[in-house]
């Protein structure tokens, strides 16, 4: 998942603009206006970047595949050399494309790896198998295609994409349209709501802020899943929560709680929970969801 919805009330009011759509997904409301967007930052390292031109497709080979759950996989694709990084700003996404049954299929994803890792890029993707969901009997074309890839097979990658960048210390650069000049917005607090593999862009932001001792931005994350077993990247998220208890707050909600899941919030309680834990009417606050 790569689509995020972003709200900065003060920015929208001052500039009198409507929500912008960036990426894939629907807009939701968190008390004010919410708009799709993605963020990132420029790498300061003088290293070799893979994504030199956002209009060029780069074929990357599959070098590793790991089964995380019954329907979720981690795909590792190799970069041109061990010295290369992907070159993707924090939170922005890439497009993967492949020719499937004579159709060009393109999907947007956010890596779980960062530019601190050289030589590879990792993607955590949910595989939508055919004949599982009655509304989508054919399943997901690209996710099933990737699940059937053999080691050494390549897939085309293009990017970076996104109209918003996070440059650190609560600072965002927002573009209403792709060719517009960016407008700087500074916040002190960030609400995040993620579902399933939508955690991947959130993790990039959590990781970046928590690793930066000079970034005081406060983070609140509500992570929704079907079951407790579906919670992805749980160990890393809880490690950041444990190491940064005053800066990063983490909650889960699950649709089908099992025995002993008393620490989780049921979906029916979500609205009251959000009002209690997630303030939305604050001039220095932004909210994102994926």
Same domain (yes/no): 22, 74 = no
pLDDT value of residue 131: 85
Which pair of tokens denotes residue 173? 């650069």
Same domain (yes/no): 168, 285 = yes
pLDDT value of residue 106: 98
pLDDT value of residue 261: 57
Nearest in space to 238 (alpha carbons), one of 248, 247, 226, 230 = 248
**48 pLDDT above the threshold of 90:** yes
More confident residue, 144 or 263: 144
**100 pLDDT above the threshold of 60:** yes
Of the chain, the percentage scoring pLDDT greater than 70 comes to 76
Same domain (yes/no): 101, 154 = yes
**177 pLDDT above the threshold of 50:** yes
More confident residue, 96 or 45: 96
pLDDT value of residue 273: 64
Confidence band of 176 (pLDDT split at 50, 70, 90): confident
* Cα 203 to Cα 81, 102, 180, 198, 210, distances in angstroms: 26, 35, 28, 9, 10
pLDDT value of residue 27: 32
pLDDT value of residue 264: 52
Whether this prediction's pTM lies above 0.75 is answered by yes
Peptide linkage before 160 cis (omega within 30 of 0) = yes
- Look up the CATH number of the domain holding residue 31: 3.40.50.80
pLDDT value of residue 33: 33
More confident residue, 8 or 113: 113
Q: Rounded to whole angstroms, how far apart are CA atoms 266 and 252?
A: 9
Cα dihedral: 253, 255, 258, 263 (round 10): 20
Per the structure, the count of domains in the chain is: 2
Confidence band of 38 (pLDDT split at 50, 70, 90): very low
* Residue where a domain terminates, one of 161, 194, 224: 161
Instruction: Determine phi and psi for 22, rounding to 5 degrees.
Output: -130, 120
Across 259-280, average pLDDT: 59
Domain that holds residue 66: 48-161
Same domain (yes/no): 184, 250 = yes
Same domain (yes/no): 147, 264 = no
Could you list the residues known to form a binding site for FAD, using ranges. 107, 109, 124, 126, 129, 141, 143, 200
**9 pLDDT above the threshold of 70:** no
Please state, rounded to an integer, the average pLDDT across all residues of the chain.
82
Same domain (yes/no): 141, 247 = no
pLDDT value of residue 272: 61
SS3 assignment for the chain: CCCCEEECHHHHHHHCCCCCCCCCCCCCCCCCCCEECCCCCCCCCCCEECCCCCCCCEEEEEEEEEEEECCEEEEEEECCCCCEECCCCCCCEEEEEEEECCEEEEEEECCCCCCCCCCEEEEEEECCCCCCECCECCCCHHHHHHHCCCCCCEEEEEEEECCEEEEECCEEEECCCCCCCCEEEECCEEEEEEEHHHHHHHHHHHHHHHHCCCCCCEEEEEEEECCHHHCCCHHHHHHHHHHCCCCEEEEEEECCCCCCCCCCEEHHHHHHHHHHHCCCCCCCEEEEEC
Could you list the residues known to form a binding site, using ranges. 107, 109, 124, 126, 129, 141, 143, 200
Of the chain, the percentage scoring pLDDT greater than 90 comes to 53
Q: Rounded to whole angstroms, how far apart are CA atoms 170 and 166?
A: 7
Same domain (yes/no): 153, 113 = yes
- Give the pairing of strands 218-225 and 248-254: parallel
* Residue where a domain terminates, one of 128, 144, 161: 161
Same domain (yes/no): 284, 189 = yes
Confidence band of 230 (pLDDT split at 50, 70, 90): confident
Confidence band of 153 (pLDDT split at 50, 70, 90): very high
**275 pLDDT above the threshold of 60:** yes
pLDDT value of residue 132: 85
- Look up the CATH number of the domain holding residue 93: 2.40.30.10
pLDDT value of residue 40: 44
* Residue where a domain terminates, one of 161, 184, 205: 161
**232 pLDDT above the threshold of 50:** yes
Same domain (yes/no): 187, 254 = yes
Same domain (yes/no): 195, 76 = no
Q: Rounded to whole angstroms, how far apart are CA atoms 33 and 30?
A: 7
Tell me how far the alpha carbon of residue 117 is from its chain's centroid.
Answer: 18
Confidence band of 257 (pLDDT split at 50, 70, 90): confident
Across 56-80, average pLDDT: 96
Same domain (yes/no): 281, 175 = yes
Which pair of tokens denotes residue 102? 């004579």
Same domain (yes/no): 139, 279 = no
Tell me how far the alpha carbon of residue 145 is from its chain's centroid.
Answer: 21
């Amino acid at each position: 998942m790569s689509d995020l919805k972003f709200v900065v009330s003060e920015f929208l009011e001052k500039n009198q603009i409507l929500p912008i759509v960036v990426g894939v997904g629907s807009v939701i409301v968190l008390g004010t206006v919410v708009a799709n967007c993605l963020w990132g930052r420029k790498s300061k390292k003088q290293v070799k970047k893979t994504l030199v031109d956002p209009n060029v497709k780069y074929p990357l080979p599959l070098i590793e595949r790991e089964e995380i759950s019954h329907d979720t996989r981690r795909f590792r694709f190799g970069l041109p050399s061990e010295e290369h990084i992907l070159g993707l700003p924090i939170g922005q996404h890439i497009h993967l494309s492949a020719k499937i049954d004579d159709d060009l299929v393109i999907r947007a994803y956010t890596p779980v790896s960062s530019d601190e890792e050289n030589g590879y890029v990792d993607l955590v993707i949910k595989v939508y198998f055919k004949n599982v969901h009655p509304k989508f009997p054919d399943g997901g074309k690209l996710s099933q295609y990737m699940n059937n890839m053999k080691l050494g097979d390549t897939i085309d990658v293009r990017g970076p994409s996104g109209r918003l960048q996070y440059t650190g210390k609560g600072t965002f650069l927002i573009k209403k349209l792709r060719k517009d000049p960016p407008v700087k917005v500074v916040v002190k607090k960030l609400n995040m709501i993620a579902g399933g593999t939508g955690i991947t862009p959130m993790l990039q932001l959590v990781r970046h802020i928590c690793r930066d001792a000079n970034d005081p931005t406060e983070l609140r994350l509500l992570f929704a899943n079907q079951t407790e077993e579906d919670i992805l990247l749980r160990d890393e998220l809880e490690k950041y929560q444990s190491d940064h208890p005053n800066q990063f707050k983490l909650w889960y909600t699950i649709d089908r709680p099992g025995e002993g899941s008393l620490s989780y919030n049921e979906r029916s309680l979500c609205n009251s929970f959000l009002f209690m834990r997630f303030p939305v009417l604050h001039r220095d606050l932004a909210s994102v969801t994926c």
